[in-house]
Amino acid sequence: VRDGGSGGGHGGGRHGDGDDGDALVVLRDVDKHFGALHVLRSINLTVGRGEVVVVIGPSGGGKSTLCRAINRLETIDSGEIFIDGRPLPAEGRELAALRADVGMVFQSFNLFAHKTVLENVTLGQVKVRKKDKKTADGRARQLLDRVGVASQADKYPAQLSGGQQQRVAIARALAMDPKVMLFDEPTSALDPEMINEVLEVMQQLARDGMTMVVVTHEMGFARSAANRVVFMADGRIVEQTSPDQFFSNPSSDRAKDFLSKIL
């Protein structure tokens, strides 16, 4: 059994640690508490360039905190996090740039309610990436087309379905030309008939070579898109392995128990 401490470079058997040019996201011995609650326990995780890592596990296990730590929406108590070989900046302009490099898509779509769809996707390009408005508009329309909502460009988020809003949120993150995309249960708040349209956009992104960390309960997506499954429970990485191995023959009792409840 691979326990929490043994993740890191051994994860997919392909990637090394922070010194490896192929590693895009590296967490070393990351610990985090909320008061007395130990939510991340000695997390070691490496995500290689172009790799799709699906994080699954029971509620409360620390999956969202892990994502938020990678984007520095949460601070950590100890350990190190590197993005593309550089430690996470603490604040200021460098932090804004990091947030642009690490795109994040949440369960709740988090679009700017008082901006149009097009404005949602141009804003960061102008403010953070310093593009002129015309260039940003062009790029936004291209991305909206890519996620299948080009015809909604001039509407406001509330006029769109949940699935459309989530696809706009993906386009907005992509507009920053991120190095890695984090998805935290992106389909959990959607009506069932809208889940696939979002998963298909994510599948296509994966096929296009985007580096992705995806927290999801969509096991079909994990099976077909993941290079590696990371199983998290009680703040630890309990095991990380290929999807085939994980679904057919998980090594930990914790994962067996989890799978028996959801499959």
Residue 64, interface with Mg ion (CB under 5 A)?
yes
Residue 237: CB minimum distance to Mg ion, A:
15
Sign (positive or negative) of CA dihedral 62, 64, 70, 74: negative
Q: How far is the CB of 34 from ligand ADP (least distance, A)?
A: 3
The amino acid sitting at 54 is: V
Q: Is 64 in the site for ligand ADP (CB under 6 A)?
A: yes
62, 103, 178, 250: which one binds ligand ADP (CB under 6 A): 62
Number of other residues whose CB lies within 10 A of the CB of residue 224: 13
Spatial CA neighbour of 166 closest among 118, 198, 192: 198
Picking from 78, 67, 136, 135, the residue whose alpha carbon sits closest to that of residue 103 is 67
User: Which one of Mg ion, ligand ADP, none interacts with residue 112, CB within 5 to 8 A by kind?
Assistant: none
Residue with tokens 């011995």: 29
Considering CB distances under 5 to 8 angstroms, the limit depending on partner class, which of Mg ion, ligand ADP, none binds residue 65? ligand ADP
What does the CA dihedral 212, 215, 219, 222 come to, rounded to 10 degrees? 20
The answer to whether 230 and 51 have CB atoms below 8 angstroms apart is no
Nearest to 157 by CA among 192, 98, 115: 115
Strands 23-34 and 180-184: unpaired
User: If binding is defined by CB under 6 A, does position 186 make contact with ligand ADP?
Assistant: no
| Two structure tokens written together for 230 | 């990371």
Piece of 45-53, 54-62, 145-153, 157-165 that binds ligand ADP (CB under 6 A): 54-62
Part of the chain binding ligand ADP (CB under 6 A), chosen from 60-68, 87-95, 101-109, 237-245:
60-68
Q: Tell me how crowded residue 87 is: count the other CB atoms within 10 A of its CB.
A: 12
Angle between helices 162-174 and 117-127 (to 10 degrees): 20
- Give the one residue of 59, 93, 260, 262 binding ligand ADP; rule: CB under 6 A: 59
Q: If we measure between CA atoms, which residue out of 212, 215, 209 comes closest to residue 184?
A: 215
Q: Does 112 bind ligand ADP (CB under 6 A)?
A: no
| 108 near ligand ADP, judged by CB under 6 A | no
Residue 116 in the binding site for ligand ADP (CB under 6 A): no
Q: Out of Mg ion, ligand ADP, none, which partner does residue 125 contact, by CB within 5 to 8 A per kind?
A: none
Site membership for ligand ADP, residue 139 (CB under 6 A): no
Q: Near Mg ion by CB under 5 A, which window of 64-72, 111-119, 230-238, 239-247?
A: 64-72
Q: Is 65 in the site for ligand ADP (CB under 6 A)?
A: yes
Helix (H, G, I), strand (E, B) or coil at 251: coil
Part of the chain binding Mg ion (CB under 5 A), chosen from 63-71, 151-159, 220-228, 246-254: 63-71
**C-alpha–C-alpha distance, residues 146 and 60, integer Å:** 34
Q: Mask: binding to ligand ADP, 13-42, rule CB under 6 A, as x and -?
A: ---------------------x--x-x---
Which residues of this protein are in contact with ligand ADP, per CB under 6 A? 34, 37, 39, 59-65
Which residues of this protein are in contact with Mg ion, per CB under 5 A? 63-64
